Amino acid sequence: MGFIGDTIDSVKSIQIRQLLSQAVSLGMIVTSALIIWKALMCITGSESPVVVVLSGSMEPGFKRGDILFLHMSNDPIRAGEIVVFNIDGREIPIVHRVIKVHERKDTGEVDVLTKGDNNYGDDRLLYAHGQMWLNRHHIMGRAVGFLPYVGWVTIIMTEKPIIKYVLIGALGLLVITSKD
């Protein structure tokens, strides 16, 4: 009896330890992803350092599913730059090019007009009702880098949530079944 009891105990203790170490490694993966994201936020100064292009308004430069790296510095905004901006009352930020800039002499405040490369007219129709210009606080960042196709992963995941759960499940399974 003593012998059998010992083995059961050892098996139990091993499982608990293994379970704990797996939980820790899973936690490590999640937290390191979070650390990388927050570090990127600090370095780029933008609240979302990476955005996925969702529309074709900047084609053929940026297609749907491409990703852009943003940078937000204190440098003044100039014509030609590709900026990401938020309109009041709209949830999804827009990535378009600046075509007009008027910068105040006394305050340094800017009036900016944008346009999508593939759109016929400027963006005044997209702005809030009666809004003629974008100001500094609308702008989340300017695009500095570009990577094609990578954004399709997130587009597919948001449009087909099942794929997301399958993927998360598979990854979780992989972490739990791995033994080192």
Partner 1 sequence: MHSFLYRLNALLTFSLIILALICGMASFSDNFNTPSPSVDLKVLNVNWFHKQHGNDEVSLTFSVEADLQSLFTWNTKQIFVFVAAEYETPKNALNQISLWDGIIPSKDSAKFSIQVSNKYRFTDQGSNLRGKPFNLTLHWHVMPKTGKMFADKIVTSSYRLPDEYR
The reply to whether 89 sits near partner 1 by the rule CB under 8 A is: no
Q: What are the tokens at 77?
A: 């905004």
Catalytic residue among 10, 21, 55, 57: 57
The C-alpha angle with vertex 34 and arms to 29 and 40, in degrees rounded to 5, equals: 130
Least distance to partner 1, CB of residue 3, Å:
30
The reply to whether 122 sits near partner 1 by the rule CB under 8 A is: yes
What's the maximum distance between 2 C-alpha atoms anywhere in the chain? 90
Say how far apart CA 50 and CA 7 lie, in whole Å.
53
The reply to whether 104 sits near partner 1 by the rule CB under 8 A is: yes
The answer to whether 57 is a known catalytic residue is: yes
Site residues for partner 1, 130-159, by CB under 8 A, read: 143-148
The answer to whether 10 is a known catalytic residue is: no
58, 63, 66, 67: CA torsion to nearest 10: 10
Least distance to partner 1, CB of residue 6, Å:
27
Catalytic residue among 46, 66, 123, 138: 123
**Piece of the chain touching partner 1 by CB under 8 A; list 11-19, 38-46, 98-106, 154-162:** 98-106
Phi-psi region of 45 (alpha: psi -120 to 50; beta: other; left: phi over 0): left
What does the buried/exposed string (b/e) look like for 142-163 if buried means 16 or more CB atoms within 10 Å of the residue's CB? bbeeeeeeebeeeeeeeeeeee
Catalytic residues: 57, 96, 123
Question: Which residue ranges make up the site for partner 1 (CB under 8 A)?
Answer: 60-61, 76, 78-82, 97, 99-105, 108, 111, 117, 122, 143-148, 170, 173-174, 177-180
